[in-house]
Amino acid sequence: MAAATMSIAGCGVTTASSTTAASSATHKQYSIAFVPKLVGIPYFSAMDQGGQAAAKRFGARWIYEGPTTASVSGQAEYVRSLIQQHVSAVGVSANSPTALDPLIKQAVDNHIMFYAADSNVSSPYNQLWVEQARSQALGYDVVDIAAKEMNYSGQLAIISAGPTATNLNTWIMYMKQRLKKYPNIQLLPIQYAGESITGAEQIATRMIAAYPHIKGFIGVATTIPPGEAQAVENAGMQGKIIVTGISDPNSVRAYLNNGVIKKVVLWNPINLGYLTVWGVLQHLEHHPFHKWNNVPGLGKVEYFPSRKMLLLGPPLIIDKANDNLNF
């Protein structure tokens, strides 16, 4: 869909808390808060950029703030504070599917909309879920890339960020499911590095030493593939150990250029932030979602009522041909 290539100009990227409001609005100005898993990494900064652009376009106040590490308790403190500020809506990219349950109910009981984007919560009180791409498609695409580059055999390592993140665990579930198609690939024990490039590099370095015949790494979070790639480069194993996963072009551009990474999978996080604000405003203004919705600036976006879910679109394969995307 067209959303994958939309460019939003004139909107700065931030890596700490930020607030954006339109100079004038034609309707009540709503305050929409978003608490990512953590601030300070390019992926969530890109979501913030899209949120700012949509807030400016549609006349809302955008609040973006969160912990500096992917902390369940840290995220909860920000959500609690925003509820106390009586924002119109508060949402998260969840570090845990269930940890925020009491706060979600508290928000709704206080007539504050609660939503999730990027990583979902399981609470029945959640009022909107904005999904970046179908989880099965993401998991399957990553495994298919890895299998082909490994010539369909050998030891494969998956390094994820946090063990409780809803989206990461769902993708891993589908990766394991897809690996059944490739019986000659052996999946090694899954490792967790937090949202840390350095942590991923350290784990990958230890795994290269522990498994001298390892042929591939998958990184499940945007910060993981660059760490894995650096470990492969340090070990002088480029061309012998492949690296792929879920990451953004800004994080892996150097490794796409030098060939350590050939492909990664993502979506456009700027567009995800933009769609999130549009969807929240639709709910706040009591506009019903349709099966297909014409979102100004994005085009057609599908809605799934049984899951209260807006779907941004299909996964985006990133390689040297399109690594000029700036997110």
Region 186-196: what's the mean pLDDT?
96
The residue among 300, 276, 247 whose CA lies nearest residue 49 is 276
Q: Of how many residues is the chain composed?
A: 327
Please report which confidence band the pLDDT of residue 125 belongs to, taking 50, 70 and 90 as the band edges: very high
- 103, pLDDT greater than 80: yes
Distance of alpha carbon 62 from alpha carbon 34, whole angstroms: 8
Hey, what long-range contacts does 294-302 have (CB within 8 A, 24 or more apart)?
A: 295/3, 296/57, 297/6, 297/8, 297/54, 297/57, 298/1, 298/2, 298/3, 298/6, 298/271, 298/274, 299/1, 299/2, 299/3, 300/1, 301/1, 301/3, 301/275
How confident is the model at residue 326, as a pLDDT?
82
Measured in degrees and rounded to the nearest 5, phi and psi for residue 172 equal -65, -40
The reply to whether 135-266 shares the fold of 2-132+268-313 is yes
0.85 cut: is pTM over it?
A: yes
Region 307-312: what's the mean pLDDT?
98
Residues 43-55: tens digit of each pLDDT: 999 999 999 999 9
Q: 204 and 198 in contact (C-beta within 8 Å)?
A: no
- In this structure, which CATH number among 3.50.50.60, 3.20.20.70, 3.40.50.2300, 3.40.50.10860 belongs to the domain 2-132+268-313? 3.40.50.2300
Q: 18 and 48 in contact (C-beta within 8 Å)?
A: yes
Region 150-165: what's the mean pLDDT?
97
Share of the chain above pLDDT 70, in %: 91
How confident is the model at residue 38, as a pLDDT?
96
CA-only gyration radius of the chain, Å: 20
Region 168-189: what's the mean pLDDT?
98
Q: Which residue is listed with tokens 């009540």?
A: 28
Q: Which two tokens stand for residue 186?
A: 């052996």
Its CATH class, for the domain covering 135-266, is alpha beta
Region 134-152: what's the mean pLDDT?
98
Region 320-327: what's the mean pLDDT?
83
- 110, pLDDT greater than 60: yes
35 three-class SS: strand
CA distances from 158 to 25, 172, 234, 243, 247 (A): 47, 8, 19, 10, 14
CA distances from 239 to 246, 251, 311 (A): 20, 20, 36
Residues 58-79: tens digit of each pLDDT: 999 999 999 999 999 999 999 9
Task: Give the start-to-end residue ranges of the domains of the chain.
Answer: 2-132+268-313, 135-266
Residues 15-30: tens digit of each pLDDT: 344 555 443 344 579 9
- 7, pLDDT greater than 70: no
How confident is the model at residue 6, as a pLDDT?
45
How confident is the model at residue 11, as a pLDDT?
36
Region 293-316: what's the mean pLDDT?
97
How confident is the model at residue 18, as a pLDDT?
53
Provide CB contacts within 8 A for 212, sequence distance 6+: none
- 56, pLDDT greater than 70: yes
- 107, pLDDT greater than 60: yes
The residue among 50, 60, 62, 63 whose CA lies nearest residue 26 is 60
- 256, pLDDT greater than 90: yes
For the chain, what is the mean pLDDT?
Answer: 92
How far is CA 38 from its chain centroid? Answer: 11
